């Protein structure tokens, strides 16, 4: 009978061997990530896990590449004013509109064999314009005046504003009219609850990318197989299984045991975990770190009576030693944020308020707001209201949970009580943030594309409510008249120098009013088995999975 030590050695050796070998027959790939999508509908809700999966199943008309250059993906040529495919339009009210012409790739075909045509374009706009559809990018559809069709594949979008992002339509994700139109027209108000993307996600014809869905186990995994109608380069893997493992420690264990082949860099191990992983197992993997437009922050619910007071919000930030937090957890590789604009983005401004760790200043601000230390050390005002807040994030994310504990400890020192309540990602994003159901604080990350307009997060018209079917992503409920004017002016300013000045003022207001507490800018860690090639980090919203057909065994 073998000894216990020999048995353990054998098990560990098997796990190491499994982790270094390619997928079965190099034809299957198992990817692990930390979130399961709350929906697979491409235009409803915003969630990183959904974006990651859908990038394997479909293509946007346009997207930014790894060099941060806007390219055509589903379309054949990027429209510009210079090449004549985009034309400015003088409107009766004296403003400028734009007409932008796109041609859908001739071979683009839904996975049931139905061609992707302008009929899908028209239907997608019909859904987006319905007030109860709950689409995330509602402003795009509000601006879309009409669609002119030229033939089955060519169309022109007539938009009521000429913006600096006039040819970026990455949010305009096409829907299969032949499948979804009957469902939508039967009950438009409840379409979001009846769509085939959630009712029958493995139904052929919902997607037109390199892969299609063949199996879904909600909350657990999705199985993708090659789409026989895909018009691009043939994918190398016959099947990709995407497993949701919300606990990051378990995710790492599954990688080492060989249960998964690769952890999605954008939704996997956090930087501190990856750094520790590299020290232990770096020789067996290709490990890289990609700084990008990923902004870790805390949304504040501005309906909360205490958080309505700007002095309280500023005091909360002064009380945090974010520099030490970044150094201790991330070896200083994730810089402290002063606003939502990343230093890598060309519109960054240095002329914004910053909040260095200053607990004395924090306490003075709380005193000014009327909150004095109570008998138990928690600050309380004359009305008996305590400086006591609930903070939530995605359960199982070990780093975020560690950050919560650090914040809880630092705030306690200045008389602020913090209660931690976390939920699975599909609940946190699908219900809590989307419906503004967090009573005080929600900690998570925004991922954006270069120089992306902040309208959806900062304009008062984009506060989600039941009346607008929870559309919009202004989860704090921030309403500032100057901010609204600036965002509107920003979008129609084509001169970069003038636009950058507007960006600077937007950042100043944001960092002064603090509807959100900035934490740090994230670097994504990519831990790739040495046998896997073709994964190219981008550092922005258009993920590596948008080029999944180029992933292959070495």
Max mean pLDDT range (15-29, 128-142, 264-278, 477-491): 477-491
Superfamily of domain 62-180: Dipeptide-binding Protein; Domain 1 (3.90.76.10)
Percent of the chain with pLDDT over 70: 95
Q: Do domains 16-57+189-291+524-553 and 62-180 have the same CATH topology?
A: no
144-149 and 96-103 beta bridge pairing: unpaired
3-state SS class at 29 = strand
Q: Looking at residues 326-344, what average pLDDT do you find?
A: 92
Can you tell me which residue has the tokens 């991922």?
Answer: 447
CA distance 220 to 299: 28
CA distance 526 to 269: 8
Q: How confident is the model at residue 374 (pLDDT cuts 50, 70, 90)?
A: very high
CA distance 181 to 143: 22
Class of domain 292-523: alpha beta
How large is the angle between the packed helices 496-513 and 310-318, nearest 10 degrees?
A: 90
The answer to whether residue 195 scores a pLDDT higher than 90 is: yes
CA distance 523 to 121: 36
The answer to whether residue 19 scores a pLDDT higher than 90 is: no
pLDDT at 25: 54
Q: Look up the pTM and report it.
A: 0.84
Measured torsion, CA atoms of residues 424, 425, 427, 432, in degrees rounded to the nearest 10: 120
| Structure confidence by residue, pLDDT tens digits, 50-93 | 999 999 999 999 999 999 999 999 999 999 999 999 999 999 99
Q: Looking at residues 265-292, what average pLDDT do you find?
A: 92
Q: Say if CB 285 and CB 535 are below 8 A apart.
A: no
Q: How confident is the model at residue 24 (pLDDT cuts 50, 70, 90)?
A: very low
Superfamily of domain 16-57+189-291+524-553: Periplasmic binding protein-like II (3.40.190.10)
Q: Say if CB 540 and CB 447 are below 8 A apart.
A: yes
The answer to whether residue 546 scores a pLDDT higher than 90 is: yes
- Looking at every residue in the chain, the average pLDDT score rounds to 93
pLDDT at 18: 45
Closest CA to 210 of 113, 115, 71, 111: 111
Closest CA to 387 of 338, 323, 441: 441
Q: Where are the domains of the chain?
A: 16-57+189-291+524-553, 62-180, 292-523
| Structure confidence by residue, pLDDT tens digits, 509-541 | 999 999 999 999 999 999 999 999 999 999 999
């Amino acid at each position: 009978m073998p000894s216990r030590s020999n048995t353990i050695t054998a098990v560990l050796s098997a796990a190491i061997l499994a982790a270094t070998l390619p997928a079965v027959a190099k034809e299957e790939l198992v990817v692990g990530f930390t979130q399961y999508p709350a929906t697979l509908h491409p235009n409803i809700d915003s969630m990183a896990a959904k974006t990651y999966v859908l990038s394997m199943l479909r293509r946007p008309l346009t997207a930014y590449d790894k060099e941060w250059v806007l390219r055509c993906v589903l379309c054949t040529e990027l429209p510009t004013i210079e090449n004549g495919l985009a034309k400015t339009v003088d409107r009766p009210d004296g403003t400028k509109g734009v007409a932008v012409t796109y041609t859908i790739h001739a071979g683009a075909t839904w996975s049931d064999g139905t061609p992707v045509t302008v009929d899908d374009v028209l239907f997608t706009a019909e859904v987006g314009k319905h007030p109860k559809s709950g689409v995330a990018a509602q402003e795009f559809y509000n601006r879309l005046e009409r669609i002119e069709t030229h033939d089955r594949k060519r169309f022109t979008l007539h938009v009521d504003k000429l913006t600096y992002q006039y040819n970026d339509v990455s949010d305009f994700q096409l829907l299969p009219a032949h499948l979804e139109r009957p469902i939508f027209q039967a009950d438009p108000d409840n379409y979001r609850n009846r769509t085939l993307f959630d009712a029958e996600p493995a139904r052929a014809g919902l997607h037109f990318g390199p892969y299609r869905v063949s199996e879904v186990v909600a909350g657990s995994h999705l199985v993708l197989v090659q789409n026989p109608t895909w018009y691009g380069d043939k994918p190398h893997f016959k099947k990709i299984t995407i497993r949701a493992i919300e606990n990051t420690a378990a995710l790492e264990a599954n990688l080492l045991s060989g249960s998964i082949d690769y952890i999605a860099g954008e939704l996997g191990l956090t930087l501190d975990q990856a750094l520790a992983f590299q020290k232990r197992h770096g020789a067996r993997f290709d490990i890289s770190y990609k700084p990008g437009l990923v902004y870790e922050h805390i949304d504040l619910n501005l309906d909360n009576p205490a958080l309505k007071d700007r002095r309280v919000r500023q005091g909360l930030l002064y009380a945090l030693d974010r520099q030490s937090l970044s150094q201790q957890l991330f070896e200083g590789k994730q810089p402290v944020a002063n606003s939502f604009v990343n230093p890598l983005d060309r519109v960054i401004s240095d002329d914004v308020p910053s909040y260095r760790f200053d607990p004395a200043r924090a306490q003075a601000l709380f005193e000014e707001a009327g909150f004095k230390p109570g008998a138990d050390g928690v600050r309380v005002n004359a009305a008996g209201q305590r400086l006591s807040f609930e903070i939530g994030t995605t359960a199982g994310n070990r780093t975020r949970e560690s950050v919560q504990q650090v914040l809880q400890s630092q705030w306690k020192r200045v008389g602020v009580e913090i209660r931690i309540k976390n939920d699975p990602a599909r609940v946190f994003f699908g219900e809590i943030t989307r419906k503004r159901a967090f009573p005080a604080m929600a900690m998570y990350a925004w991922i954006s594309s270069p120089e992306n307009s902040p309208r959806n997060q900062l304009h008062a018209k984009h506060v989600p409510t039941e009346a607008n079917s929870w559309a919009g992503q202004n989860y704090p409920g921030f309403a500032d008249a100057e901010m609204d004017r600036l965002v509107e002016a920003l979008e129609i300013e084509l001169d970069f120098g003038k636009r950058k000045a507007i960006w600077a003022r937007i950042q100043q207001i944001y960092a002064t009013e603090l509807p959100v507490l900035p934490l740090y800018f994230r670097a994504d860690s990519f831990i790739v088995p040495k046998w896997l090639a073709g994964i190219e980090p981008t550092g922005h919203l258009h993920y590596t999975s948008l080029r999944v057909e180029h992933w292959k065994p070495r």
